[in-house]
A and B are shown apart, each in its own frame.
Chain A
Amino acid sequence: MSKVEIREEDVIIRNYRTSDYQATLEILKELHKLYDIGLREEQWRESSGLRQFKPNLKRITLIAEFKPTGEVVSMGIIEGVKNTLGQYIGYLDNWATKKGFIGKHVGKLLADKAIQILHGVVNQSELIYPMKQTKNY
């Protein structure tokens, strides 16, 4: 793939859904190979990327989906951790882009959106959560 920059309109930035599991695992594995992020496969489970609520912690996994092919090309985790003053402090974690899309600014597009969310410029409810994700349990 060429080094042509990917434009904002070419990607959908949305919340993680369970069907992204394999794609995100592959991306994390690639990242782990390069930087040893301490990934253990059994720790990244299907539910790990879902919007998560825990006492004093909120977590969202953002996904960048490449519109023309529908593939997951980048991911990143936003964590809001409550500090001793009771304020949520935002962190960006595990920011990774699929091989072949590195250097095309997809990670930056994702990070810009994440920062907007943390600043409250973008309400989380403006993110897309695809309704086509239906599953029978």
Chain B
Amino acid sequence: MSDIFNGTVEKNPHEDLCVVYVLYFDEKKGQIPLLMYPDDRFRSEKKYMRPINYHPVWFLETEELDHIDLEYKGYAFFGKKFKAKSQRPKRRAGLEEETPETIVIIVSLPVELEIFGDELIKELTEKLRNQFEDQLTEVIESGIASDAVIKTPKIQERISKGNKIKVFMRQLIDKEIRDYFSRVIEKRSESPSLKAQKAISYFSLKGFEFSPLSTLRGEGIFTSVDLFDSTIQKGEEIRTRSLFSIASINFIENSQEIEITVQNNSDKELKNILITITHVKEYFEKEVMNQEVEFWFPQEELLFVSPIVPHIDEYLFSIKKGDGRGNIENKLSQRIDLKLINKITS
């Protein structure tokens, strides 16, 4: 069992679903991965760990923001940070044995599934914290001990103990992920938003079980959602139109600008609307447009024009609505890939 993380690992079917990283802050080396789910092989690969090392979660104060996200090369990374009890001697002056450990949990999902990230990271962190908060220090000690050149029986025992805890942690992560996706897809499929439909399509594409004809259906299947449910009557469909819809997106080649036409679908005038267009550069989000719309007539279409940044092809268009009391809610997000949108040469 102690070698569970070093042996050959078969491709886990949930690898396409999400990857979970549990990391801690080592006062000597920086951020160190404690475990990776479902495949632990890549935690020592610099290239694979690159987005993790550069995730802005490291700048997060543990008691402030809830969590922060990063989108990188088709994956959304959700990071959450918390403090855990510690009893191990620290290797930096000024730190005591009781100085708490800084633990970071990062969940990476394909962008098609990013709709689930917020809830998943919250639930996962809560469960890991509830069950393993007191034991994390032993896992960290085990990780440090495994670097020792000479492994005395005492050190070996420490390593073994830490590895055992990691096995239980992995089991919990595995169970939580299965339960979460099964539950959430079922819930979301009842009133599918565009994002939820996209996520269901992704599951289907990757072969997660939905078909009522499949022999794999039954106890223990991924979810009980039927992608093609013949019993659903057309009349039962309840369609709720989103507040905004994008009518067109064009790239004007001559002026190197993006033109986005958006309609207010509601029958009431909207106020305090914030429009942003951002892109990711070197792991940081940069704004190319930040525009406040004071009022937006019912059914009115507005045109947003923004210059693009040379050599950047991907942008994120967002519409947020303020409630006048400082709370801002995201109403629409749309990724824009210049290679895929309509081009106008005039």
Contacts and interface: CB of A to CB of B under 8 A. Distances in A.
Interface string B284-311: 0000010101110111111111110000
Nearest to B261: A47
B306 A18 contact: no
B346 A53 contact: no
Contacts of B306: 54-55
Interface in B261-298: 261, 263, 267, 269, 275, 289, 291, 293-295, 297-298
A97 interface: no
Contacts, number: 63
Which of B293, B301, B346 counts the most chain A CB atoms within 10 A?
B301
Contacts of A42: 346
Interface size range of chain B in the complex: 20 to 34
Interface residues of A, number: 23
Contacts of B245: 137
A2 B294 CA distance: 42
Given A42-B346, A125-B295, A131-B267, A51 B289 contact: no
A40 interface: yes
B307 A51 contact: no
Contact of A55 (B263, B289, B302): B289
A43 B267 contact: no
Given A47-B301, A51-B302, A124 B263 contact: no
B297 A15 contact: yes
Contact of B299 (A48, A50, A125, A131): A131
Contact of A53 (B269, B298, B302, B307): B302
A50 B305 contact: no
Interface in A19-58: 40, 42-43, 45, 47-48, 50-55
Contacts of B333: none
Given A40-B346, A53-B275, A55-B306, A133 B259 contact: no
A7 interface: no
Interface string A126-137: 000101011101
Given A53-B291, A129-B300, A131-B299, A47 B248 contact: yes
A105 interface: no
Nearest to B264: A129
A52 B301 contact: no
Interface string A5-24: 00000000001011000000
Contacts of A50: 261, 301-303
Nearest to B289: A55
Contacts of B295: 124-125
B301 A53 contact: no
Nearest to A49: B303
Q: Which 5 residue pairs are nearest across A and B when measured between Cβ atoms?
A: A129-B297, A54-B305, A50-B303, A42-B346, A52-B303
8 contacts: A47-B301, A48-B303, A50-B302, A51-B302, A52-B305, A53-B305, A129-B297, A131-B267
Interface of B: 245, 247-248, 257, 259, 261, 263, 267, 269, 275, 289, 291, 293-295, 297-307, 344, 346
